[in-house]
Structure 1
Amino acid sequence: MSLQIKNLSKTINQQPTLDQLSFEVQPGQIVGVIGRNGVGKTTLFRTINGQYLRTGGQVLVDGHEVADDPSVRPQLSFVDPQANFFKTMTAQQVAWYYQAAYPQFDQAKFDQLLGRYHLKADQKLRHFSKGMFGLFTIILSVATQATYLFLDEPLDGLDVIVRKNVLNILIDEVATGQRAILIASHNLGELEGIIDRALMLKQGHVIHDYQLETMRTKARKLQLVYRDKQIPALLKTNGHIVSVSGRVIVVVFEDFTPELQSQLAATKPVFQETLPLSLTDLFMANLTDEHDYELLS
């Protein structure tokens, strides 16, 4: 079983938010979808799940086009955190609505998770705090029993204890190898601890599809110091400069080979140190522009 997104496009207000975007997800994965504000992460989730009509492309589950085969539609679940039309309903009333859309909806799991986190089934969602509502959307998503869950900023507004428990729920759901979870989040530090892959979006495209385990073995983050303030061309052509402070340069090399190390030695840095590499570093390396450098400095 697989979810295939092929050349997905979506134009909003005559602007291409998604532009022939493609990727594939298998059950058993937790995939982080990352990018700068306004890059189209929520639009991507809404378009895949049919809340927005596509401008072009395909969404395939096991080779079946979702738009043409209603039987595969319940394999996708996206509880939009901005779905205000639910706010006048109770938690149980929303569950009944989802039972109609998802034949495999697990009422027992829904009730059990509500009880664990002290959420009342007869309470209207408009009386939930932001954190309570965010937790409810995760519980509802899990209870659908859909193969592919789409979560948009699922940790936003949750306290540190509830966040930890929620992450454990998500890991448990994927551990069986029967489900996949796609998470759009700005909290890269917490994402890094649970995701297997990171899809990086820029200008409507997936510009990088990082397998984090492979990335950690191949990539390096170095702090380099040179005698003058000139940045060697090698750093610009083979790496991503994260920061520059006087003569100190922090650079990320995504494919750090012995040959590259020899070339780097030839630039004669007076100091070189390997630093821990994080998902935030990859974010900054790929998505920071010259204007941002001016602000950071």
Structure 2
Amino acid sequence: MSLKITNLNKQIDHHATLIDLDFTVEPGQIVGIIGRNGVGKTTLFRTINGQYLPDTGQVLVDDQAVSAQPELRQRLSFVDPQANFFKGVTAKQIAWYYRATYPEFDQAKFDQLMTRYQLPVDQKLRHFSKGMFGLFTIILSVSTKATYLFLDEPLDGLDVIIRKNVLNILIDEVANGDHAILIASHNLSELEGIIDRVLMLKDGRIKHDYQLETMRAQARKMQVVYRDKTIPAVLREQGHIISVSGRVIVVVFENFTPALADQLTATKPVFQEALPLSLTDLFVANLTDEHDYELLS
């Protein structure tokens, strides 16, 4: 059982937004989709879920093309936070629509979560605050009982207490191995605490597909200090420099082998230490462009 995206391409306004995307997601996974603003995260979710038609490529559920079998869309759920038709109706009316669309819609779960978080079911969604609306989209998503849930910035606008509860809801959804969640978010610190894997998008392509457990075992974030401001070639060629402050350099090595450790020692730093490596570090290391900051040499 899997969701497979093959050779997916999509242009928006004659601009190549998604280019040759290939990846597979299986139930039991929470996958983070990260990238800079405008990289195509929302377009990816809309294309997979049929709001946009792909220019080329396929979306397969259990090796069956969704385009040929529209009923397979019941296995996918994407509550688009930018969907304008939501705004003029009540939460109860939206739940009725989704209950008609998803045969396994869990009305009891929907009612219980709406009550727990004190969201008014008879109030039109245009009167919801940003945080209320974000929380509602999550409740609606998990209530569909779809196998694959797509969440676009689900933590945006939620206070810290509600965010922690929401993260627990999402973890519970995948705990039994029947569901997978794909989350597009800029809230990297909290995303890191729940995801197993991250797809990093850059220029419309998948730049990296990280298994976080493997990455933590192989990568190192190092702080090194030299006697002068010269940056050794090994740092530039085999690492990602994420900051330079005078003679202090912070660099991420994605494959820190014993041989690389020896090369680093051979540069004769006056001080070096390993620092905790975060998802934010990987984001900065891979997605920072030259015009974002100037490396001092």
TM-score band (shorter)? over 0.9
> How far does residue 247 in structure 1 lie from its aligned partner after superposition?
1.0
Q: Distance in 2 between matches of 1:42 and 1:123?
A: 27
- TM superposition score normalised by structure 1: 0.98
Residues 295 and 46 of structure 1: is their aligned pair in 2 closer, same or farther, counting only changes over 3 Å? farther
Residues 253-290 of structure 1: per-residue CA shift (max 9 Å, x gap): 01101011011111111110110100000000000111
Matched, 1:35 2:35: yes
Alignment of 1:121-136 (within 5 A): 121-136=121-136
Matched, 1:174 2:136: no
Say yes or no: does 1:117 pair with 2:117: yes
Question: How is 1:1-297 mapped onto 2 (pairs within 5 angstroms)?
Answer: 1-294=1-294
Change (3 A) 1:296 1:10: farther
Report the Cα distance in structure 2 between the residues aligned to 1:103 and 1:35, rounded to whole angstroms: 34
SS of alignment partner, residue 181 of structure 1: strand
1 CA distance for matches of 2:152 and 2:73? 19
Instruction: Report the alpha carbon displacement of residue 155 of structure 1 after superposing the two structures with TM.
Output: 0.4
Letter in 2 for 1:216: R
After superposition, what is the alpha-carbon deviation per residue over 1:214-240, rounded to whole angstroms, capped at 9, x for unaligned?
A: 111110000011111111111111111
What is the deviation of 1:115? 0.7
- d(CA) in 2 for partners of 1:227, 1:55: 54
Provide closer, same or farther for how the CA distance between residues 264 and 292 of structure 1 changes in structure 2, counting only shifts above 3 A: same
TM-score normalised per structure 2: 0.98
In structure 1, what is the Cα distance between the partners aligned to 2:178 and 2:242? 38
Q: Contact 2:243–2:295 at 8 Å: present in 1 too?
A: no
How large is the RMSD of aligned CA atoms in angstroms? Answer: 1.3
Q: Give, in whole Å, the separation in 2 of the partners of 1:133 and 1:71.
A: 28
**SS, match of residue 293 in structure 2:** helix
CA contact (8 A) 2:8 2:58 kept: yes
Whether the 8 Å contact between 2:81 and 2:137 is mirrored in structure 1 is: yes
Per-residue Cα deviation, 1:93-147 (whole angstroms, up to 9, x for no partner): 0011111211111111111110110112111111111111100000000000000
In the alignment of these two chains, the number of paired residues is: 297
Q: Secondary structure at the match of 1:100?
A: helix
**Displacement of 1:71 after TM fit?**
2.3
Q: Share of identical aligned residues, percent?
A: 77
- Provide the secondary structure at the position in 2 that maps to 1:294: coil
1:176-205 superposed Cα distances (whole Å, 9 cap, x missing partner): 110000000000000000000011000111
Q: Please, which runs of 5 or more residues in structure 1 have no aligned partner?
A: none
Instruction: Check 1:101–1:195 CA distance in 2 against 1; reply closer, same or farther (3 A cut).
Output: same
1:107 and 1:67 map into 2 onto residues whose CA distance is: 28
- Aligned-partner SS, 1:224: strand
- Cα offset for 1:296? 10
CA distance in structure 1 between the aligned counterparts of 2:130 and 2:295, rounded to whole angstroms: 32
Gaps in structure 2 of 5+ consecutive residues: none
Q: Which runs of 4+ in 1 moved over 4 A?
A: none
One-letter code aligned to 1:95 = A
SS in 2 for 1:164: helix
| Corresponding letter in the other structure for 2:242 | V
Residue type of the partner of 2:20?
Answer: Q
SS at match of 1:165: helix
Would the aligned equivalents of 2:244 and 2:295 in 1 still touch at CA under 8 Å?
no
